[in-house]
Structure 1
Amino acid sequence: MNSPVETLFNLIDHTAEILEEELDCTYLEAIAETGENLFHEDILQPELSEVTKKRLKKQYVELNFESYTSEDIRKGLQLAILKGMKQNIQSNHQMTPDSIGIFMSYLVGKFLVNKDKFTLLDPAVGTGNLITTILNQLPFKKVSSVGVEIDDLLLKLAYVGANLQKHPIELFNQDSLDPLFIDPVDAVVCDLPIGYYPNDVRALDYQLCAEKGHTFAHHLFIEQSVKHTKPGGYLFFIIPNGLFESEQSNKLHPFLKEHANIQAIIQLPESLFRNENSAKSILVLQKQEPELKAPREILLAKLPSLSNQTAMENMMNQMNAWFNENK
């Protein structure tokens, strides 16, 4: 017997394949279309033949959608999106692994433990997988969320996913490094897009603009995020391990010293990544405000393999001890 996630994936997959063929679109576009149908409980594509509409309706009706949890829906949708991304690989079409999203949720919950209600921004929201993972893991918090994404297809998938999981996320389709008309938030989460930012003119607006050539986009995302965080708010970034040793890091160090306190740097297990060069860490910052003191010691940790339960439990105990002392 299939698990709820497999059942949902199979439905999304089968109906997306039908729509892909009938609408002559990509599989990822077809996922967005079938997601819209599921949400509206209707067939929204007028160009489909009556036979196809009946086939789709039969599959949708057989699935009692209301009986599935938000997390089942997120995972089922995620599996279909991953299948679509493998078919049409683009550098900007990558999804944050589940294990990292769940660990980020733990950190957000720990650092914002005293806030029952807060605002959350993801300036590189992509398909919305990271932000919805966090929202699903923190069901007792009232979170007002905002996502920004330049790729309109990824944003449509984020919109469909948010609707199906009943998360009211405000989504903006724009370059995140252009001016954002968003009120400052309590927390930012971001799997930083790594690489050079092609718009040298826009980069001039930033303190972290490179002296010559293109500026690192991930540096500009950090600066933009700090700008849009309330004083005392927290920022959670997935960063490349070499962030502080890179060729443009000479500007990053003084910028962070001026605007934020580093709270934690947690190295993620290398087994999660293709190779050592693509390995990443989580950087946690707190935006400075008057009277705010830096932590007595920064939480520095290297996560063991997630399959090593004993080592993982030891690490979580050490982290919890740090939170008890510093928070």
Structure 2
Amino acid sequence: MEIRIYVNSENIKTNRIKFHSLTIKKSIDEICHSAEITCPLSELKKVKRHNKIFIKALMDWNKEERAVTYILVDDVSATLNSREKRMTIVGRSYARDIVDSIDSGRIEAAKLTEVVEKIAQKYNSDIKVSHYPIKPDSSPNIQSFTWENESVWQKLLTIAENNGYAISSNQRSGLYVWKRDTNLANNANHKFIENKNIVSAALNKRGYEQFYRYCVKGNYNTTEQIDFSCKTKRIYTLNFTDENISKKELQTRAASELMRRKTDELTIELNNWGLSDKEIEIKKIENKSQVEVFYEPKQLIAVKIPSFDIDKNMIIKDVTFNLSTDSFSSSVILVDEGAL
């Protein structure tokens, strides 16, 4: 497998850039993927602020290029000294234009997916928005959505979470509007197994984030959820001032807070980004197969670590890909099913 990086136009040989190292971060908690690319200083003239960067993987068996992530350039820096000359490119998914913009607006009577699409088109017309799974669009109806002299993004995330949804970037820098109980469809058969493909693992059982009672309040309603696995009487209270928030939304938010805060976190280090070239060839996975060959947020993964007494499916929350001198590695954070 070969990683290729293009500037402005994908698949055009003259638009490829040379690079020394690459780090890509993806998280279900962050709208944007991010990437940091270290290159020879000779590439400086090719890259400008706000350029599109296409990071792709060339599949060995059929020579298809598969999208890993697409970004816009946030920053280009160059350094030189007696030992080296190099430049660094830092960028995020196209949705950074939504996150960074301060503005006002109002959208009336639309499905959540439509709200996200209208906002995306306002700030960057290259962002393609889709409900996941694609059909049917079961996202909730939003009576009214307004923002005033602020970044719309945090408000959009809040209304999505209150309705049991998440919003995140995909490999081509579009946006998925996820139902939270929906995982990324894939039958690539990823597994993390102790003494087989795990380089190292760390288990974190955080008590300070967990509470016994979760109280979520609106202007006219209050709802509670109890976590009986928490043996103290700690209380977590969340207040919303939105007049349109329903009791169902309050209940959904209380349940999601409970699940997210009680979960264990498992961090696993690996010497790959996903399936090996041989596995991809044996399975004959093509781009049109719509099978994820790399680790991605919201993937369901079988995990077996007897030393931690873990033998179950877990969900990827965050993944970091690293590539340096042809050495692939990744760091994956997993949580319990239902926590995302």
Same fold (TM over 0.5): no
TM-score normalised by length of structure 2: 0.24
The structure that is strand-richer by fraction is 2
TM-score normalised by length of structure 1: 0.24
The structure that is helix-richer by fraction is 1
